[in-house]
Structure formats: C-alpha cells, structure tokens
C-alpha cells in the first residue's frame, strides 16, 4: 500500500472516533482503535515479503502486544480518578511504554 492510502485510512479512523464520541453510543469510540487496520497492513507485508513462518511469529508477538494495551487501560482507569486527564494519559502512556519494552525484551530472549 502506498503512503497516501495509509494516511487516508488513519485519518478516516480519527474522523470515525471523533464522530462516534459525540453519539449516544460514545463508548464504541474505544473499540475503533482496536480495529486491526495496521495489523492487516503489517501481516500482509510480513506475509508477502518474509513468508508464513515469520508471519506466524509476528502474529504470536501481536498476541503479546495485548498485554501492554491492557496495562495502559487498567492504569488509565485507575489514574483518571486521581489526576487530571492529560497527566493521567501521560502516566498511562508511560505504563504502556514500560510494559511494551518488557514484552520486546522477553520476546528477544526466546
């Protein structure tokens, strides 16, 4: 896929999240970031350029990627009651970063 198509897909996702956040079903805006837009691109590229074995390894690592996201959500859920929104988001992002780095380090040791 060319760079322009990727940018348009990203812009469309941001637009949809913004629109959904204003509806009665605002919570669905939290589901859209989990749509596998970028995973589809990554899986296609790895699968077509590196082969099925590397694709399967990428998929398996993607399963581990859920752990940092869950850590981000859990920490943000706890932090929003204790801090203002922006500091809570930044701290939750730090939790994601540390957890993601840990996942990468653990994966590399295999």
pTM for the predicted model, two decimal places: 0.77
Cβ proximity of 78 and 90 under 8 Å: no
To which H or E segment does residue 11 belong? helix 3-20
The domains of the chain are located at: 52-110
Quick one: angle between helices 85-108 and 66-79, nearest 10?
A: 160
Per-residue pLDDT of 52-94, as tens digits, reads 999 999 999 999 889 999 999 999 999 999 999 999 999 999 9
Per-residue pLDDT of 9-57, as tens digits, reads 888 889 999 999 999 989 888 888 888 878 888 999 999 999 999 999 9
CA 52-53-59 angle, to 5 degrees, is 85
Strand, helix or coil for residue 74: helix
- Give the C-alpha distances (Å, rounded to integers) separating 90 from 4, 44, 65, 75, 77: 29, 32, 19, 11, 13
């Amino acid at each position: 896929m060319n760079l322009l198509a990727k940018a348009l897909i990203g812009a469309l996702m941001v637009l949809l999240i913004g629109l959904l956040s204003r509806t009665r079903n605002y919570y669905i805006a939290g589901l859209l970031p989990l749509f596998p837009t970028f995973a589809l691109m990554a899986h296609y590229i790895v699968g077509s350029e590196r082969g099925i074995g590397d694709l399967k390894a990428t998929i398996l690592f993607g399963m581990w990627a859920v752990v940092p996201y869950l850590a981000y959500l859990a920490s943000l859920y706890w932090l929003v009651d204790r801090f203002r929104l922006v500091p809570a988001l930044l701290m939750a992002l730090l939790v994601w970063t540390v957890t993601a780095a840990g996942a990468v380090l653990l994966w590399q040791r295999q």
